[in-house]
Amino acid sequence: MPSHQMIFLLLDLVLIVGAARLLGWLAERLGQPAVIGEILAGILAGPTVLGAQLSEAVFPLDIRSYLTAFANVGVMIFMFSAGLEMDLRSIAGRKRSVSAIALSAYIAPFALGSVIALWALARHDGDNRLTFALFIGCALAVTAFPVLARILHDRKLLGTPLGQSAMTCAAVDDVLAWCGLAVVIAIARPGTDHHWRLLLFVPLVLVLWWAVRPALDHLSRTGSEKKTGNMVFLGVAGALLLGATTEWLGLHLIFGAFLFGVVFPRRLRAAVDSGAQLLSSIFLPAFFVVAGLQVDLGALDRAAIGEFAAIMFAAIAGKLGGTYLAARLARTDRTESAALAALMNTRGLTELVILNIGLTIGVIEQRLYSLLVMMALVTTAMTAPLLKLCGAPAAHRGDPPPGKEEGRRTDSAVQTEVAAS
């Protein structure tokens, strides 16, 4: 890398991290998750606000590939942390009614999203309408599990029946979202001549669950858990290695990182997650800028207004309506049903990861990507006001601030950080 590119890259990284921290802090001061400010930081860096020329001057085209590399590392660490938060035992142990609510919360927006993709978004569908419709359904059906965990912690709801139900429903939706996305990628990824590699995914999952997971669990019982630095290295290195493996299989690097987080020993997760969060806070802001550089609201035409309205309707009506009706049918009272629906409407960073994949593999193009990013921003920002409107309890003013990072941790991890501070 030439010297001038190295200088630009280092300066841009400092600018990116600083802007993400500042706007994340401002978002928290306004009662919003920090991810709202971080997404805005990425959009502000793009052509929507700075204009194409100034945006290219601040983030030159010849260093954007390096920023993309940093962004991919940040996303893999984030997905590893998301996998750490996934407790499959809690999913299996919840009542059938919660599973029914989770399925309804996913299927309703997925169905509405697929329908509006074929109707209101028809001019964006490209060559494969089925793949396009399935992807839009997946994008609208997702719930941001890590952001949801942070919102629940901030409002002191994690230990309540509402919080437990929301976390379980979101966990089920996350599993469904990644499975659906894997199917879309498998049938839509361009330039893949080795589809036979996809057949290796199932054996990979079996090896992880029946061989790697017991080996890691045995290692965690030998006293190595006292060497936190070694375990953080093992976790991050394993996530990167599995990410490379699933990328080679023809899926995407996020799946391997997520799976390694799921099989990582629970006894080590709080300590390892704190280290992963530190790395993520350095690398992940690059993802917001890479994502934001693709958002150009100035390039949208009048027809985009109607398309955005259709997207918002499908996203909100599907998620709120599907969750609320299923909760009421499960004999949940109106207040808790409404609060659960509001929580399940949270999308955040998980949505951006999915949209970025869709843009990368060519399922969606830049104009539609911009609309979907705005949908993710608006629906995530709606969560706090909707919770207040439906009467859900909020955090007490006297509580110590839980930190300035976006909600990507479980209650135990956040409590560990607060206690340490």
pLDDT in tens, 264-296: 887 777 778 788 888 888 888 999 888 888 898
Enter the tokens of residue 375: 């949908």
Number of other residues whose CB lies within 10 A of the CB of residue 414: 24
For the segment 5-32, the average pLDDT, to the nearest whole number, is 91
Cα separation, 403 vs 414, in Å, equals: 8
pLDDT of residue 388: 87
Whole-number pLDDT of residue 19: 93
Residue type, 408: R
**Residue 405 DSSP class:** S
Whole-number Cα distances in Å, 85 to 76, 93, 280: 14, 16, 15
Closest CA to 32 of 398, 380, 289: 380
Cα–Cα dist 163/167, whole Å = 6
Burial (0-12, 13-18, 19+ Cβ within 10 Å), 416: middle
Q: Could you give phi then psi for residue 395, rounded to 5 degrees?
A: -65, 150
Residue 94 confidence (pLDDT): 57
For the cut 60, the answer to whether the pLDDT of residue 6 exceeds it is yes
Mean pLDDT of 204-217: 90
Q: Which among 172-181, 334-343, 411-420 has the top mean pLDDT?
A: 334-343
Handedness of CA 16, 22, 25, 31 (dihedral sign): negative
Residue 88: which of 332, 342, 258, 320 has the closest Cα? 258
pLDDT tens digits, residue range 124-182?
Answer: 887 788 899 999 999 999 998 778 877 887 777 866 788 878 888 887 887 888 888 88
SS3 sequence, 82-94?
A: HHHHCCHHHHHHC
Return the SS3 of 194. Answer: coil
119: Cβ contacts below 8 Å, ≥ 6 apart: 310
pLDDT (0 to 100) of residue 234 = 87
Residue 72: alpha-carbon gap to chain centroid = 13
How far, in Å, CA of 378 to CA of 58, rounded? 27
Q: Does the pLDDT at position 300 exceed 90?
A: no
Identity at 44, one-letter amino acid code: L
Q: Which segment of 45-49, 161-165, 406-410 scores lowest on mean pLDDT? A: 406-410
Which amino acid is it at 87? D
Amino acid at 280: S
Average pLDDT over residues 206-212: 92
Please give the Cα distance from 144 to 103 (Å, whole number): 15
By CB atoms closer than 10 A (0-12, 13-18, 19+), residue 61 is: exposed
Confidence (pLDDT) at 376:
93
Residue of 349 and 6 predicted with greater confidence: 6
Kindly tell me if the per-residue pLDDT of 29 is higher than 50: yes
pTM for the full predicted model:
0.81
Most confident of 34-48, 63-77, 270-284, 308-322: 308-322
